[in-house]
Structure 1
Amino acid sequence: MEDIKTRPPGVNATGLPLAEDLMSGAGAIAHFIFGNDSEGSRRKVYHAADKLGLPCFKLGGTLCARRTTILKWIAKQESVV
């Protein structure tokens, strides 16, 4: 396993810089998951975060998530079904 101390600053275990991995706002998360950031898609993101366990967090009042974490969550959901 890679030691976090050997990684360049701001790079996660997948090699993706944090700035590229982090999504800020329900619109950005909706666009990543659904391909658009319509009001309906943003509402689906809030619903998934509240009721379905979508892995996200708040920075101030803004909903944020990592692309890599959401992809892992989706893969886990697929394996359960």
Structure 2
Amino acid sequence: MAEATMTLSQKFGISRRQAYRYLQEAQAIGHAVPVVAPSVPITLKLPAHIVRDVRAYSVISGATLSDIVTRAILAFLAAVRGHG
């Protein structure tokens, strides 16, 4: 634990105390947390009715707009690859 605390502290420029707290929280989770790719902001222009419907779905489902759009694009790409 001490070695991991030092590594986190040095790698991310945080105090050893904060690094130790992060490690304690990670241990409390009890399972591995998946690492996700960093997100990049983009700007899209969509018809207003589509934006309205996606926002409404976001509220109902609890999913973020980014999650909804990401899933839709991944489904589209899978379909395109399957036919290409």
TM-score of the superposition, structure 2-length normalised? Answer: 0.29
Determine which structure has greater relative contact order: mean sequence separation of CA pairs < 8 Å that are 6+ residues apart, divided by chain length.
1
**Greater share of residues in strand:** 1
Output the TM-score relative to the length of structure 1.
0.29
State which structure, 1 or 2, has the greater radius of gyration over its C-alpha atoms. 2
Q: Which has the higher helix share?
A: 2
